[in-house]
Amino acid sequence: MTITENVQATQPNAEGYREFDLGGFHFRRDEFFAHVTWPTGSHVLSIDAFLRALQRDVAWEFFYGTVNFDGVIGTVNHYGTVDLFAGRYNDAYRKAELDHVETFDAPHIKATFAAMLSDWTNAGFDPFASPAETGMAFGVKNGNNDAAVTRHRVTAARMVGVPGDEQVRTDATHPINRMFADVPQDEPLIEAEPGFENEVAAFNLFAYLSRSDVTWNPSVVSVCKESLYCPTTEEYILPVIHGNDRMEWFLQLSDEIHWSVEDRDSGTKRANVIMRAGDICAMPGDIRHQGYSPKRSMLLVWENAAGELPGLIASGQAPSDATNY
Ligand code: PHB
Ligand code: FE
């Protein structure tokens, strides 16, 4: 592991893991847990859940809005700077005045999180994989899995399959997942007018998704101005509780996901939503949500990446949910 200049890390502790400091926050792992402390408190998370959340926060560059690792700690993306918080979006911590927030330049917190992810992930554990398809996270330090934790994230510039862009998946690189063995693999026939061969593209999205080796990891497969199609395959539990700073649309492409929807700031329950194949919903911009997928399923997440949206919603100039249009 290379530790860049501004990452504050100790020598390996008794279990073989480095400990990390980010401002007043301290991160330590042992065989089973991540221990996080800050000036007014401390918190313990199971190391497998912690690494799954950390993996996504790093790979998604802090995502849209809030990434809650659980009901206590997480990050808020301000697109250039990032808040690291403890208890800030938890009513009990707020009322007891034990919550804590510090703001970091995005490259500094990203480098620290990436170094922690690399150091704390043992050989054989893949934080992006379904728990049914990976070894375990527990135990004393045992090698690393840098190939998995730094894997390429699919972000098409225009669309998968367009010349020079992200390419379709094949047996050689992405075998069909065990749960999607019945998904047809035929590709569309493209009949372009002469001269337009490099400008017309089409691909079988179901076949593409049936070959995903990761879970709960939306990839950008098509882009039209600020409109991003980010499909993903899901199994078990979304490892973060995502707090929106804008609306996002979910289209359930197969099987079923149960969503737990809470108020973004207090964590108060707002709804349980069960989405079955063909269902579509708009998640409001003032909630947080976590999904449970009993079988591996395909979900299309549709994002509006316009940079001005969070400000427009926060100032009341744009609505936070689709019913206000
Ligand atoms: C979300 O927070 O909207 C989200 C994140 C990852 C997924 C699906 C949905 O795989
Ligand atoms: Fe979300």
Kindly give the residue spans of alpha helices, DSSP state H, lying in the chain.
47-59, 91-95, 106-120, 146-149, 205-210, 309-314
Report the pLDDT value the prediction gives residue 121, as an integer from 0 to 100: 98
Q: How far is the CA of 48 from the centre of ligand 1 (A)?
A: 18
Q: Would you say the CB of residue 162 lies under 6 angstroms from ligand 1?
A: no
Q: How far is the CA of 268 from the centre of ligand 1 (A)?
A: 20
Residue 2 has pLDDT above 60, yes or no: no
Mutation test residue for ligand 1: of 77, 242, 247, the one with most atoms within 8 Å of CB = 242
Q: Which atom of ligand 1 is nearest to the CA of 56?
A: 6
Q: Which atom of ligand 1 is nearest to the CA of 234?
A: 10
Q: Would you say the CB of residue 201 lies under 6 angstroms from ligand 1?
A: no
For the whole model, what pTM was predicted? 0.96
Residues 53, 21, 9: CA angle, nearest 5 degrees:
95
Instruction: Write out pLDDT tens, residues 116-136.
Output: 999 999 999 999 999 999 999
Q: How far is the CA of 249 from the centre of ligand 2 (A)?
A: 9
Nearest-Å Rg of the Cα atoms of the chain is 20
Q: How far is the CA of 8 from the centre of ligand 1 (A)?
A: 30
Instruction: Write out pLDDT tens, residues 204-214.
Output: 999 999 999 99
Q: Which atom of ligand 1 is nearest to the CA of 283?
A: 3
Q: Percent of the chain at pLDDT above 90?
A: 94
Residue type, 189: L
Residue 289 has pLDDT above 70, yes or no: yes
